[in-house]
């Protein structure tokens, strides 16, 4: 991906000082007649310039992508994106200063975290795998279960939840703390009109970070540029043909944004385990359904599925091409055994590897975090802790 460029147009403001006419004297009447509105040169008041309008944001989109939707109440500006960029990499947002948003979305790990399940402050192992941050702007609902409508709500959820550990009760104080830092005061004043004596609100920080996240676009891959090699070309034909992968992985983002039951981590009997979409919808038919992930950068974002239970991309393709976990009842109707040969599965994997994102995030500061991507703490590879919070 080409890094999204920010184009700034500055409009110079020119000010004209207006002078009045000198007072005229009527010689016959020997009386002074003052011209209405006259201003003496030495009494000319200084004219304050009007504040500059926010610098216009212009998308420079990577090939293969359209501009993502932007909510009307959080318009994109150059300064807002720049502020969000800094905040995304600021570890002070977390409850203990141990991690930033980037901690779970690192360049070297496909902009995920390389773990089966996310790791929060205090080495708290969370319940779900961390998806890549690329192209999150195209999802109307966030998290594996879609419980957050839009990036702004997702940011607040991750901030107060297990990822950053601040808690609902601590959000306002944490936002005020961040907004009061000298390096941020002027930016919040310009971007959100926060005046002296006012405290920065959590929603303002979430708005800035969300604006930045909307610029994290993965395009310009070998697929987008029509430069697939022969195995990948065969894989693309299988992907949209015999394998019928486009039943769920469709569009520019290779995801329908919907929720499907593929049988991963579903109990053969009983009703235990992570119920996925049901957590948000409370509809029985949504039990054990999870959102279709984007396939962009998929070769770099192992391990896979909502629980990070599979490390090998080829094994994932083989399972899905065979119709999911056939031991589980009521699988998604799109899942059928496609009868693919080993060679055909290899070609599909070659196509998926051609979806690697060519770009990377511009890192600010030291972003090392213990446990990411090192081996998970004891117990992380087993059953999900009962008190584990949802990570994605």
Dump pLDDT digits (tens) for 124-133.
999 999 999 9
What local confidence, expressed as pLDDT, does residue 149 receive?
A: 95
Q: Rounded distance, CA 348 to CA 272, Å? A: 34
Does the pLDDT of residue 30 top 90, yes or no? no
In the chain the domains, ranked by start, together with CATH numbers, are 78-213 (1.10.760.10), 230-353 (1.10.760.10)
209 in the Ramachandran plot: left (φ > 0), alpha (ψ -120 to 50) or beta?
alpha
Give pLDDT tens digits for 287-323. Answer: 999 999 999 999 999 999 999 999 999 999 999 999 9
pTM of the model: 0.82
Q: What number is the average pLDDT over the span 342-348?
A: 98
| Helices (H), ranges, 161-295 | 171-179, 182-192, 202-213, 230-240, 278-281
What local confidence, expressed as pLDDT, does residue 1 receive?
A: 39
Neighbour-count burial of 86, counting CB atoms closer than 10 A to its CB (0-12 exposed, 13-18 middle, 19+ buried): middle
Distances from the Cα of 233 to the Cα of 106, 182, 318, 320, angstroms:
29, 53, 18, 20
Q: Rounded distance, CA 254 to CA 81, Å? A: 26
| Helices (H), ranges, 290-369 | 313-321, 342-353
Q: Rounded distance, CA 79 to CA 24, Å? A: 52
Which candidate, 249, 225, 252, 224, places its Cα nearest to that of 239?
Answer: 249
Q: Rounded distance, CA 200 to CA 186, Å? A: 12
Does the pLDDT of residue 40 top 90, yes or no? no
């Amino acid at each position: 991906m080409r890094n999204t460029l920010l184009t700034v147009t500055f409009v110079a403001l020119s000010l004209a000082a207006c002078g009045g006419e000198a007072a005229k004297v009527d010689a016959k009447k020997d009386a002074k007649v003052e011209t209405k509105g006259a201003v003496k040169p030495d009494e000319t008041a200084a004219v304050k310039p009007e504040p500059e309008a926010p610098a216009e944001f212009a998308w420079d989109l990577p090939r293969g992508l359209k501009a993502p939707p932007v909510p009307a109440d959080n318009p994109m500006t150059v300064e807002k994106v720049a502020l969000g960029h800094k905040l995304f990499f600021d570890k002070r947002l977390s409850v203990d200063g141990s991690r930033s948003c980037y901690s779970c979305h690192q360049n070297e790990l496909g902009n995920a975290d390389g773990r089966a399940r996310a790791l929060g402050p205090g080495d708290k192992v969370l319940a779900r795998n961390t998806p890549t941050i690329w192209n999150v702007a195209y999802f109307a609902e966030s998290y594996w279960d879609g419980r957050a409508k839009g990036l702004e709500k997702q940011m607040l959820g991750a901030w107060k939840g297990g990822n950053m550990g601040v808690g609902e009760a601590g959000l306002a104080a944490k936002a005020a703390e961040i907004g009061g830092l000298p390096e941020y005061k002027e930016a919040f004043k310009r971007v959100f009109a926060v005046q002296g004596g006012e405290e920065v609100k959590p929603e303002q920080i979430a708005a800035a970070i969300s604006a930045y996240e909307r610029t994290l676009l993965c395009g310009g891959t070998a697929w987008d540029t029509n430069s697939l090699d022969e195995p990948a070309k065969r894989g693309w034909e299988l992907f949209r043909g015999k394998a019928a992968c486009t039943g769920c992985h469709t569009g520019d983002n290779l995801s329908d944004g919907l929720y499907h039951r593929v049988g991963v981590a579903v109990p053969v009997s009983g009703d235990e385990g992570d119920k996925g979409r049901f957590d948000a919808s409370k509809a029985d038919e949504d039990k054990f359904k999870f959102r279709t992930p984007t396939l962009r950068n998929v070769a770099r974002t192992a391990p896979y599925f909502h629980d990070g239970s599979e490390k090998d991309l080829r094994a994932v393709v083989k399972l899905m091409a065979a119709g999911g976990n056939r031991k589980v009842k009521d699988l998604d109707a799109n899942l059928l055994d496609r009868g693919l040969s080993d060679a055909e599965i290899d070609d599909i994997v070659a196509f998926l590897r051609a979806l690697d994102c060519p770009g990377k995030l511009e890192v600010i500061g030291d972003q090392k975090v213990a446990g990411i991507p090192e081996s998970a703490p004891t117990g992380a590879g087993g059953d999900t802790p009962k008190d584990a919070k949802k990570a994605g």
